[in-house]
Structure 1
Amino acid sequence: MSTGTDGFLAPRGLLVDEKFCCRTVDFADIYKALQSTENLPHSDAKLQTVGFTNTGFNAVYYRRVTDVCDYVIAAGVGVRKDYDRIFDGLAELYKDPDDVSLRQQIDRTIKDRVETLRMLSDVAAAVKTDMTSAVYNIIENQGRLGDMARPLQDSSTISKVLREADGNDEDYRQDMEAVQNLLKIMADQKMEDQSGPTLSDLEKLLGGAAAILSDMTSLHEAFEEDAKPGLDLVLNLEKNNLIDMWDNLVREGI
């Protein structure tokens, strides 16, 4: 049923140029970016410090990304045992197609593998959706910050307004420092740039997870429909090569 050249039963998009599709440095960058938004103001009522906690850092999206990577690693770790049972089992079943116990064992192994990959695919989809939503919310709020920042950038006018409003030099100095600090915070917010690589990686992970789930689901359907299943179900596939690719994925992902 397989071509042997299309990546069937391989890690697919989870392994890009022999590297784990989720680059650690990008996740570390977005973690810092989300964390940096924690105390940003997004209303102009006395420039109250109201954080983006609910849509960013405190929603533990970084940890959820770590979770989905753990699912990938877990799926990779189980490959050697599962593929041995499937490939070797099909070879034995071809010799003895009436071995009901062996057929049930292979069926259970494939089903368990499908369930593992389904969980990975579901978690990847949920994390991608939530991360995208969180990032877009932050980008929207950062746009509001930009609107707030523009009048503050007119330093001479701000200085005059604060000088007239503040009762003494200490209050004036403190308020001017606060304005400069606020402008610096606003200038440092570049969530759109910081989030791009991470969202791209999550898209690759999601696509890879969907592809390998489709592979295993197709194998299970073919196994159930074949009256005398055998090695033809994995024709042209090199078990050891596939296992090596999954092992490489695990090494790169840890």
Structure 2
Amino acid sequence: MTDFSLPDFDLDAFVRATLAEDLGERGDITSLATIPADARFGGVMDSRDAITVAGLPIAEAFFRALDPAMDIEILVGEGEQVAAGSDLMRLSGNARAMLTAERSALNTVQHLSGIATMTRQYVDALAGTDATLLDTRKTIPGLRVLEKYATRTGGAQNHRMGLWDAAMIKDNHVAVAGSVEEAVRRAVAAGITSIIVEVDRVEQVEPALNAGATHLLLDNMTLDQLRESVRLVRGRVPTEASGGVRLDTIGEIGATGVTYVSVGRLTQSAPAADIGLDFALV
């Protein structure tokens, strides 16, 4: 078994729950009816597109959960960029186990590799600037740890993992508190040390800083507004451009001098990678 672990993620529990969802109470009735119990398959997982690979050790865990003795060889590393037609994994073992685990394994690798591939495209488009790509909390419920693993694998840096690891003061918080300054003051008074403040106008920058913001999220600003905000901040706190960022605009956004550019579509809209698995009797 490939040595693979993620903080705060129980791989065995994830595999059990995913397989249970697919198997129900009756199991893989098609394979049970048509495949002899002792039949063996050999298989190759390959990519039909050029991709950045993510999730192969998780796919391995699905197959081993149903056939612990399965012979599995992972052929490429996590985060490796491969050409279309590249073999990713070779397998040999119990045919029923392979067929039963196939969809869960492929769904996971396709989804995570799709995220890693899109992330790498955005990272490459930022090349030549000093900005770092961030992901967001726009993740599928229950899959945040895996999806943020995929963005890291593609070259991004994780932003907040949840609501617990930093305060993020947005317009609704400001509306209730009465002002940016009061919202930040309340966060400071609560003992929060990491306070991100969303601003969408240049004139909000200085009040947010004076109140104690430790990070400014510059929301949906024009390039000129971003440059002016960076000039006003003068490196006192990190700055983050966010909102409406596209692959064809991220380079010029990064060139404004912001510290970070965050992109929700990395986890929200990445298409699944085209990855297949072909079996043959052995």
TM-score tier, shorter chain, comes to under 0.3
Question: What TM-score comes out, normalization by structure 1 length?
Answer: 0.27
Name which structure has the greater RCO, CA cutoff 8 Å, separation 6+.
1
Q: Identify, as 1 or 2, the structure richer in helix.
A: 1
Rg larger in 1 or in 2? Answer: 1
Q: Identify, as 1 or 2, the structure richer in strand.
A: 2
